[in-house]
């Protein structure tokens, strides 16, 4: 190893390395060991599995063996109409949930940042509160508020003499699921945007206010452009979280017949792996999902880097 000489050189040349080249690795080692055990090895294993299949080899008495099958699982996964349909449903859900979550979070963050707005502490805390509520519990609460026999909304419609929508039936279910995601997601994104807003120097607005700009103009012309790194980051987090939607639809299944076993991609992966015993197929699908997430993320982070570099 080359550690010993670099230590001595580092000690004289670079100040920050003065502690010796082994010290940082010693500090990193607990994280590194866990990272290898619980991220790198599982990913490697998933990749390996995704290129194999269990096949009976050697005639009638042969044992089942892990056989290398190339991209067969990937082809099967990508051409499976069930998977494509689940992606479509996820897309439908995401198109409602992501813009509304981020849009509302942005509106609330901007309003909190305006002077002379009252009860901001209360509103901020209340809107942030759902962040501490697990998705399963949020689904349970909203689920009962959707269920016709216990729903306050159904009761309100009925008392007005109107036909109540069935929140748990086919087209409405997307809005119902999105509502749970929005409810859970607004607070965290709002706080991230709000703290980013607070870090913008106040002089920038004071000058604009003296020039007669109103809060609306200040928000559009100054705050939102300066927020764009935070907006890209929250968008990235929201997209990743949406792609991984699992607990909410799985829980709502108990109350709704319109959510199938393979409603969202992750539910299909789980079902393939554990109910249908098709681990290689599930591995291939999950690798496809991981690659998709990475591609979207890299694309967004490129945009983020360009933004921060320009400003």
**Positions in 11-50 near another protein (CB under 8 A):** 14-21, 23-28, 30-32, 34-35, 37-39, 41-43, 45-46, 49
Q: Please, what is the minimum distance in Å from the beta carbon of residue 59 to another protein?
A: 28
74 touches another protein (CB under 8 A) = no
82-141 positions binding another protein, by CB under 8 A:
104, 107-108, 111-112, 114-120, 122-138, 140-141
8 A C-beta contact, residue 40 and residue 25: no
CB-nearer residue toward another protein: 60 or 303: 303
CB-nearer residue toward another protein: 38 or 71: 38
Distances (CA, A) of 93 to 64, 203, 294: 40, 41, 20
d(CA 77, CA 288): 9
CB-nearer residue toward another protein: 3 or 88: 3
- How many other CB atoms are found less than 10 A from the CB of residue 225? 11
Q: Please, what is the minimum distance in Å from the beta carbon of residue 61 to another protein?
A: 26
d(CA 228, CA 96): 21
CB-nearer residue toward another protein: 172 or 297: 297
CB-nearer residue toward another protein: 21 or 97: 21
Residue 55 DSSP SS3: strand
Taking the CA of residue 120 as centre, how many other CA atoms within 13 Å lie in the half-sphere pointing to its CB? 14
Size of the site for another protein (CB under 8 A): 115
CB-nearer residue toward another protein: 65 or 150: 150
8 A C-beta contact, residue 99 and residue 185: no
Q: Please, what is the minimum distance in Å from the beta carbon of residue 167 to another protein?
A: 13
Kindly tell me which residue out of 92, 145, 224, 226 binds another protein, with binding defined by CB under 8 A.
145
Q: Please, what is the minimum distance in Å from the beta carbon of residue 293 to another protein?
A: 5
Q: Please, what is the minimum distance in Å from the beta carbon of residue 51 to another protein?
A: 13
157 touches another protein (CB under 8 A) = no
Instruction: Indicate the angle between helix axes 81-112 and 224-243, nearest 10 degrees.
Output: 150
CB-nearer residue toward another protein: 78 or 233: 233
d(CA 302, CA 297): 8
Kindly write out the interface string for residues 159-178 of this chain, putting x where it contacts another protein by CB under 8 A and - elsewhere. Answer: --------------------
Structural tokens at position 135:
């998705």
183-222 positions binding another protein, by CB under 8 A:
183, 186-187, 191-193, 195-196, 198-199, 206, 209-210, 212, 214-216
Chain Cα centroid distance, residue 49: 25
237-296 positions binding another protein, by CB under 8 A:
240, 243-244, 246-247, 250-251, 254-255, 266, 269-270, 273-274, 279, 282-283, 286-287, 289-290, 293-294
Q: Please, what is the minimum distance in Å from the beta carbon of residue 222 to another protein?
A: 15
8 A C-beta contact, residue 263 and residue 89: yes
Task: Output DSSP code: residue 40.
Answer: I
142 touches another protein (CB under 8 A) = yes
Burial class (CB in 10 A: 0-12, 13-18, 19+), 137: middle
Distances (CA, A) of 183 to 69, 91, 140, 221, 303: 44, 19, 13, 28, 28
């Amino acid at each position: 190893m080359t550690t010993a000489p670099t230590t001595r050189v580092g000690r004289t040349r670079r100040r920050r390395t003065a502690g010796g080249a082994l010290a940082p690795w010693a500090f990193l080692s607990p994280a590194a060991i866990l990272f290898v055990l619980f991220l790198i090895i599982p990913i490697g294993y998933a990749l390996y599995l995704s290129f194999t299949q269990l096949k009976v080899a050697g005639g009638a008495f042969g044992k089942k063996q892990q056989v290398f099958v190339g991209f067969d699982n990937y082809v099967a996964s990508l051409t499976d109409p069930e998977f494509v349909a689940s992606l479509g449903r996820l897309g439908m859900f995401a198109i409602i949930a992501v813009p509304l979550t981020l849009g509302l979070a942005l509106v609330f963050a901007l309003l909190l940042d305006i002077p002379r707005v009252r009860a901001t502490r209360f509103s901020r805390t209340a809107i942030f509160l759902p962040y501490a509520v697990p998705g399963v519990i949020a689904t349970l609460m909203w689920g009962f508020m959707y269920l016709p026999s216990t729903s306050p909304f159904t009761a309100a419609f009925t008392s007005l003499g109107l036909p109540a929508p069935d929140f748990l039936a086919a087209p409405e279910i997307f809005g119902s699921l999105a509502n749970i995601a929005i409810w859970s997601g607004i607070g965290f994104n709002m706080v991230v945007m709000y703290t980013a807003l607070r870090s913008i120097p106040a002089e920038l607005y004071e000058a604009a206010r003296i020039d007669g700009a109103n809060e609306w103009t200040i928000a559009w012309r100054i705050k939102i452009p300066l927020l764009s790194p935070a907006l890209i980051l929250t968008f990235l987090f929201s997209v990743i979280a949406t792609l991984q939607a699992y607990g909410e639809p799985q829980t709502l299944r108990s109350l709704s017949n319109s959510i199938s076993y393979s409603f969202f991609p992750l539910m299909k992966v789980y079902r393939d792996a554990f109910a249908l015993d098709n681990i290689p197929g599930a591995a291939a699908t999950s690798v496809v999902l991981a690659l998709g997430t990475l591609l979207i993320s890299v694309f967004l982070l490129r945009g983020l880097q360009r933004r921060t570099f320009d400003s």
